[in-house]
A and B are shown apart, each in its own frame.
Chain A
Amino acid sequence: EDQVTQSPEALRLQEGESSSLNCSYTVSGLRGLFWYRQDPGKGPEFLFTLYSAGEEKEKERLKATLTKKESFLHITAPKPEDSATYLCAVQAWSGNTPLVFGKGTRLSVIA
């Protein structure tokens, strides 16, 4: 069974304090790994898709990386507006099964 585990569950950072969020996965052949941002009371917003180990993608202060067992979302010099829950999801090659989501990391950036 495909599984996604995100850590930590919650993270509190000072503005400008860089850190990383982790997404560990178990999947029978990874087709893609997806990162989303979710603000309170809103639907998740798509950020990145990663397809193969070693791949990296960046968007503003966010950089996502991928290995064969996990993905990291690096946040450089975060600002309060980066506060949100970050969700990770995986897609397997087998069959037509949709995405499997982790429970997310709730990030708070304090000014």
Chain B
Amino acid sequence: SQTIHQWPATLVQPVGSPLSLECTVEGTSNPNLYWYRQAAGRGLQLLFYSVGIGQISSEVPQNLSASRPQDRQFILSSKKLLLSDSGFYLCAWSRGVQDEQYFGPGTRLTVT
């Protein structure tokens, strides 16, 4: 069966510090991978998605970036965090872009 991992589970970072969140998927190959941010009252906001190694699509302009160095690894990064980057970050995978997505446990990021 497939499993998706995210770490860390929680993170408190000062404004201006860098960020690296990692997501890995087990039990499948060539998954489509997604990064979402969920803020209170705003629902799920798609940040990035990837259909293959090195292929990243950005959905919204921001100071975040994503990379996919390996088939089942997806990384969300920032060089300098803003207060507005606080939120609940979710990674998800799917077999195809148009298939149901399966979510990881999430990372709660607080920027202070």
Do A96 and B98 touch (CB < 8 A)?
A: yes
Please give me the residue from chain A that is nearest to B106 by CB atom: A43
For residue B98, which residues in chain A have a CB less than 8 angstroms away from its CB?
31-32, 91, 96
Contact at B100–A41, with CB atoms within 8 Å? no
A38-50 to B contact mask, C-beta < 8 Å, 1/0: 0001111110010
Does B83 lie at the interface of the complex (its beta carbon under 8 Å from any beta carbon of A)?
A: no
- Report the separation of the CA atoms of residues A9 and B50 in the bound assembly, to the nearest whole angstrom: 31
In-complex Cβ contact of A103 among B43, B90, B97, B104 (8 A): B43
B7 touches A (CB below 8 Å): no
Q: How many residues of B contact A (CB 8 A)?
A: 23
A48 to chain B: closest residue by CB? B100
Establish whether residues B90 and A43, one from each chain, have CB atoms under 8 Å apart when the complex forms: yes
Tell me the bound Cα distance from A44 to B76 in angstroms: 19
Partner of A44, one of B46, B49, B94, B103: B103
In the assembled complex, B95 has its CB within 8 A of some CB on chain A: no
Q: Closest B-chain residue to A35, C-beta based?
A: B100
Hey, which bits of chain A sit against chain B, CB under 8 A? 31-32, 34, 36, 41-46, 49, 87, 91, 96-99, 101-104
Binding site for A on B (CB under 8 A): 32, 34, 41-44, 46, 49, 51, 88, 90, 92, 94, 97-98, 100-106, 108
* 13 extra A-B contacts, CB within 8 A, seeds A32-B100, A44-B90: A34-B100, A36-B103, A43-B92, A43-B105, A44-B103, A45-B103, A46-B101, A87-B43, A91-B98, A97-B97, A98-B94, A99-B101, A101-B43
